[in-house]
């Protein structure tokens, strides 16, 4: 992974392959952002003019390279756009994305210095995290490893020695590393990551970071009556797993349960997906990857909160032993579900895990899942939906996602949509309901398995979990690690005594 360091050296004196500055769109042309002063002096005050001549506008996502003059030790100046700005004010997400653009543009370089606005601890963290996420590269299957990411990012900051800046950089390192771990998991080919393999990775991380990890294999799941996980995993030669990853803190006053959907490959089962919908289904474990990364982040950051992650892992395949449409599964906890569509499998594995998580009486359960195509139709490919049985909790999670730069939108759980699921003539519930509002129906199904008295929220990350287009900002093509930052911020709030 790309190394990150902080320096108080002047931009002019620092030796690097490239020196990164920020430019914004001002009312009369481009505006140089704080951090670019020494660079501008080396260009005799004509840097903004030169950049404008080269076509720079300061728009977000823009990257313009200029050879350095004699007054700079770095060989190249890279100007990245920050977008529209108020006088001297820069959005944290704009800084994250600009740093990410810079890191992507400088792939293959050994050392790059980031002279972007970093005058507060929040700005320092945003630049550091954006740079680390933008430098991400997954070259596991490339001959020769693919193009190397930038080797080292040096964050130029006048706040290097301050306590809050040090904490900000440490937080960026932890969250960045764990998000990139989640991205690796999502990007790994499904023939190399099955439920057993994912569980082994969790066990290894538990040993490394001092987390308590328990794994229920297929025999333990059968003995315990986990009909959802077993029903989904029946068709595969790779049996399911339920993994518990627990972090406790001696001063914790709140307990959280994060539950992640971990379908390591989703063919749709007997209700086979149509051609063109299978190729990216290795990403159907992105919820479990996000939960795993969030719990490890909480441990590494030492948050004063107890968190248990539940990874509901299975492979959904068609075979002679696969669950059929029309089968009835007895879920963990005793409820029965008539399976009308085997491609609505995520809610089945999550239901088992939610019931199990509820037995430990956490204050809050949050599940994360690439659950429905309907949510993508509703919110697009960059925004995830937030549903909850508590309006305040839904609002808190929606606000938390915005604070850390993840796009989400609060969604309702209309009670009238529940009827379609409860009309099964042979079981307590069906795993399908009305077609319209399918993302909300899935949320209502999960709600049926939440123990009374426990606040619960559901994050449907189907849209933003896997990016199929060209990279932008700090977001690569492939796995994105969506929801990790939201979960970590929520955990931080609870550690600080926040409500709900």
Token pair listed for 46: 């004509």
Name the catalytic one among 160, 166, 196, 273.
Answer: 273
Q: 347 an active-site residue? A: yes
Nearest to 485 by CA among 424, 402, 420, 426: 402
Give the containing element (helix H, strand E) for 353: helix 346-358
Cα–Cα distance, 85 to 88 (Å, whole number):
7
Q: 159 an active-site residue? A: no
425 burial level (CB within 10 Å; 0-12, 13-18, 19+): exposed
Asked if 311 and 292 touch (Cβ cutoff 8 Å), the reply is yes
Cα–Cα distance, 485 to 397 (Å, whole number):
11
Q: How many residues in the chain?
A: 500
Cα–Cα distance, 243 to 309 (Å, whole number):
8
Pairing state between β 336-338 and 364-369? unpaired
- Residue 273: DSSP 8-state: P
The distance of Cα 225 from the centroid of its chain, to the nearest Å, equals 31
Asked if 152 and 2 touch (Cβ cutoff 8 Å), the reply is yes
Give the containing element (helix H, strand E) for 246: strand 241-247
Name the catalytic one among 97, 159, 171, 347.
Answer: 347
Which residues have a catalytic role annotated? 273, 347
């Amino acid at each position: 992974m790309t190394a990150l360091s902080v320096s108080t050296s002047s931009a002019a004196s620092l030796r690097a392959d490239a020196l990164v500055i920020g430019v914004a769109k001002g009312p009369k042309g481009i505006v140089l952002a704080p951090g670019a002063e020494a660079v501008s002096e080396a260009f005799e005050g004509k840097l903004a003019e030169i950049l404008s001549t080269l076509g720079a506008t300061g728009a977000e996502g823009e990257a313009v390279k200029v050879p350095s003059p004699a007054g700079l030790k770095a060989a190249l100046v890279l100007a990245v756009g920050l977008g529209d700005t108020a006088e001297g004010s820069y959005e944290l997400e704009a800084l994250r994305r600009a740093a990410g653009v810079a890191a992507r543009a400088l792939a293959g370089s050994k050392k790059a210095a980031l002279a972007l606005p970093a005058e507060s601890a929040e700005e320092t963290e945003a630049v550091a995290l954006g740079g680390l996420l933008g430098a991400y590269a997954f070259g596991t299957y490339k001959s020769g490893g693919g193009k190397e990411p930038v080797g080292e990012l040096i964050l130029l900051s006048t706040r290097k020695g301050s306590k809050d800046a040090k904490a900000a950089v440490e937080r960026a390192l932890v969250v960045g590393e764990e998000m990139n771990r989640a991205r690796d998991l999502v990007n790994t080919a499904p023939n190399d990551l099955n439920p057993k393999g994912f569980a082994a990775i969790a066990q290894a991380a538990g040993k490394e970071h001092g987390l308590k990890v328990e794994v229920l294999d297929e025999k333990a799941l059968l003995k315990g009556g986990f009909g959802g996980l077993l029903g989904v995993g029946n068709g595969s030669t790779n049996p399911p797993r339920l993994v518990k990853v627990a972090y406790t803190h001696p001063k914790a006053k709140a307990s959280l349960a994060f539950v992640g959907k971990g379908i390591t490959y989703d063919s749709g089962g007997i209700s086979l997906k149509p051609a063109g919908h299978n190729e990216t289904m290795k990403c159907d474990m992105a919820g479990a990857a996000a939960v795993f990364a969030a719990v490890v982040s909480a441990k590494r950051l030492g948050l004063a909160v107890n968190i248990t992650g539940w990874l509901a892992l299975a492979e959904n395949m068609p075979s002679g032993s696969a669950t059929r449409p029309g089968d009835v599964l007895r879920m963990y906890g005793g409820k029965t579900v008539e399976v009308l569509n085997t491609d609505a499998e995520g809610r089945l594995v999550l239901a088992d895990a939610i019931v199990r998580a509820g037995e430990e009486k956490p204050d809050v359960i949050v599940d994360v899942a690439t659950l429905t195509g309907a949510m993508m139709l509703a919110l697009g490919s960059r925004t995830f939906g937030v549903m909850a049985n508590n309006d305040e909790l839904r609002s808190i999670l929606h606000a938390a996602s915005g604070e850390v730069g993840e796009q989400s939108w609060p969604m309702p759980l209309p009670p009238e949509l529940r009827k379609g699921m409860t009309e099964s003539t042979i079981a307590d519930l069906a795993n399908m309901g009305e077609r319209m509002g399918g993302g909300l129906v899935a949320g209502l199904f999960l709600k049926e398995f939440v123990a009374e008295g426990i606040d619960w929220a559901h994050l449907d990350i189907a849209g933003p979990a896997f990016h199929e287009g060209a990279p932008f900002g700090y977001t690569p093509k492939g796995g994105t690690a969506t929801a990790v930052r939201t979960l970590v911020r929520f955990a931080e709030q609870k550690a600080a005594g926040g409500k709900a």
